[in-house]
C-alpha cells in the first residue's frame, strides 16, 4: 500500500502532518510524532508581535496613553507571556533538524506588511524545509475595502517569497467575498500551497469578572465540511498544493479530504484530545479502508471526487443547499408517525 504524497514539492511518506500547536514546543514530542508516523511537522508559530517587540522594544509605545483605560492594557501581550522568543525559535528549528528526519515546516503568524516578514530568511537559514505563513487578520476598520484586505494578503506573501527560496504555504480564513478568486490571486502571487482553513478563536465574556477572555474550542468533525467543500472546488484549478485542516479526527476523514483533492491533511485537535499516538491509529484506519475498497495508493484517490471529477459537480454549490434544506427532518419528529404532524 503506497501512502506517499507530494506537498509543495516535498516528497512525504503519507498525508498525515501535525499542524502548528503547543505540542511542537517539545523536541521529544516531535520525535514521538515522527515515530507514530507523521510525514512532516508544522512547528508552533512565531508571531509578528514577538518579532516586533523583541527587535524594536515597542512595548512602551503600544501601551503609552492607555493609562486612562486600565483594561486596555490587557489587549497587548506582555513579552513574558510569549513562550518562545524570536531567537529561541530559530534555535528550536536548528535543534529539531539535528534530531528529526522528516521535513520540518516553520510557521510565521502575522497580519500586516512590515520588516518582520524578512525574518523568514532567518527561518530558512536555521534549516526549515518549508514555511507556513499563517495570516490571522480580523479587519474592523469600516473604511477598509475588501480589495484592500485582499491586497494586504498578497503583499505579505510577496514580501516573504522575496526573502526565501524554500516553499511557502499560506494558511488563510474562508472569509472572503470570493474565496475562489482569492485562492487564484495567491496562487498567481507564488504560494506553493494553501492551507484551508484558519480557525478564528472567538472571545467570550466572563460574567463574573466582566472581562473579555480568550476561549479556545477544539475543532469537531463538522468543522471539516468547509475545507472539504473548498478543496473540492479548487482542486485541479490552481497549481498550489492544498492542505486540509480543521475537524480531522479519523482515517475516513483523511480519505474524504484526499478524494476532494488535498495533498495533505493536518492534525491538531485530535492529537490534543487523544495523544500523539493517534497518528498511528489514523494511518491504520486509512490502510484498512483502502484494503477493503481496493485502493493501492493515495495518489489513486487524490482529487477523484473534486468538482471537476464528481458525478454531480453541483453538489459543492448552491443547488445542494436547496436539496439539504428541503430534505431535512427534525430529530424529534422521528419518534412519531408522519401523519401525526402532517395529516
pLDDT digits (tens, 9 = 90+) for 259-273: 999 999 999 999 999
Whether residue 79 has pLDDT greater than 90: no
Q: What confidence score (pLDDT) does residue 59 get?
A: 46
- What pLDDT is attached to residue 313? 74
- Looking at every residue in the chain, the average pLDDT score rounds to 86
pTM for the model stands at: 0.84
- What gap in Å lies between CA 117 and CA 139, rounded to an integer? 20
Mean pLDDT of 188-217: 88
The single-letter DSSP state of residue 72 is: G
Instruction: Please say whether the beta carbons of 43 and 104 come within 8 A.
Output: yes
Highest mean pLDDT among 68-72, 132-136, 256-260, 317-321: 256-260
* The domain defined by 5-307 carries CATH number 3.30.300.250: no
Q: pLDDT at position 66, please?
A: 44
Contact 10, 129 (CB under 8 A): yes
Other beta carbons within 10 angstroms of residue 44's beta carbon come to 20
In the chain, the percentage of residues whose pLDDT exceeds 70 is: 83
Whether the pLDDT of residue 208 is over 90: the answer is yes
Q: Residue 170: pLDDT above 50? A: yes
Residue 296 has pLDDT above 60, yes or no: yes
Give the ranges where 108-250 is alpha helix by DSSP (H): 119-125, 146-163, 179-188, 225-234
Average pLDDT of the segment spanning 118-123: 89
Amino acid at each position: 500500500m503506497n501512502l506517499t504524497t507530494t506537498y509543495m514539492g516535498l516528497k512525504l511518506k503519507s498525508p498525515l502532518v501535525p499542524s502548528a500547536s503547543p505540542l511542537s514546543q517539545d523536541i521529544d514530542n516531535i520525535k514521538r510524532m515522527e515515530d507514530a508516523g507523521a510525514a512532516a511537522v508544522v512547528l508552533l508559530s512565531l508571531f509578528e508581535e514577538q518579532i516586533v517587540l523583541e527587535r524594536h522594544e515597542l512595548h512602551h509605545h503600544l501601551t503609552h496613553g492607555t493609562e486612562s483605560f486600565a483594561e486596555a492594557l490587557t489587549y497587548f501581550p506582555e513579552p513574558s507571556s510569549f513562550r518562545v522568543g524570536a531567537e529561541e525559535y530559530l534555535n528550536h528549528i536548528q535543534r529539531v533538524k539535528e534530531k528529526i528526519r522528516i521535513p520540518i515546516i516553520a510557521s510565521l503568524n502575522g497580519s500586516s506588511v512590515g520588516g518582520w516578514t524578512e525574518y523568514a530568511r532567518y527561518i530558512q537559514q536555521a534549516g526549515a524545509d518549508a514555511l507556513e505563513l499563517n495570516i490571522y487578520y480580523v479587519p474592523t476598520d469600516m473604511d477598509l475595502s475588501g480589495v484592500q484586505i485582499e491586497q494586504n494578503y498578497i503583499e505579505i506573501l510577496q514580501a516573504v517569497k522575496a526573502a526565501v527560496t524554500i516553499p511557502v504555504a499560506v494558511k488563510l480564513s474562508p472569509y472572503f467575498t470570493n474565496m475562489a478568486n482569492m485562492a487564484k490571486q495567491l496562487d498567481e502571487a507564488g504560494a506553493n500551497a494553501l492551507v484551508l482553513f484558519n480557525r478564528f478563536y472567538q472571545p467570550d465574556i466572563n460574567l463574573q469578572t466582566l472581562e473579555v477572555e480568550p476561549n479556545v474550542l477544539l475543532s469537531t468533525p463538522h468543522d471539516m465540511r468547509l475545507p472539504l467543500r473548498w478543496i473540492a472546488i479548487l482542486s485541479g484549478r490552481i497549481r498550489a498544493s492544498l492542505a486540509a485542516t480543521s475537524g480531522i479526527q479519523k482515517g475516513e476523514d483523511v480519505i474524504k479530504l484526499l478524494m476532494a483533492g488535498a495533498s495533505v491533511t493536518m492534525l491538531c485537535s485530535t492529537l490534543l484530545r487523544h495523544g500523539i499516538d493517534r497518528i498511528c491509529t489514523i494511518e491504520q484506519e486509512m490502510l484498512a479502508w483502502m484494503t477493503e475498497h481496493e485502493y493501492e495508493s493515495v495518489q489513486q484517490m487524490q482529487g477523484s471526487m473534486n468538482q471537476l471529477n464528481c458525478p454531480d459537480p453541483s453538489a459543492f454549490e448552491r443547488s445542494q443547499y436547496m436539496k439539504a434544506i428541503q430534505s431535512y427532518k427534525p430529530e424529534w419528529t422521528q419518534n412519531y408517525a408522519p401523519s401525526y404532524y402532517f395529516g
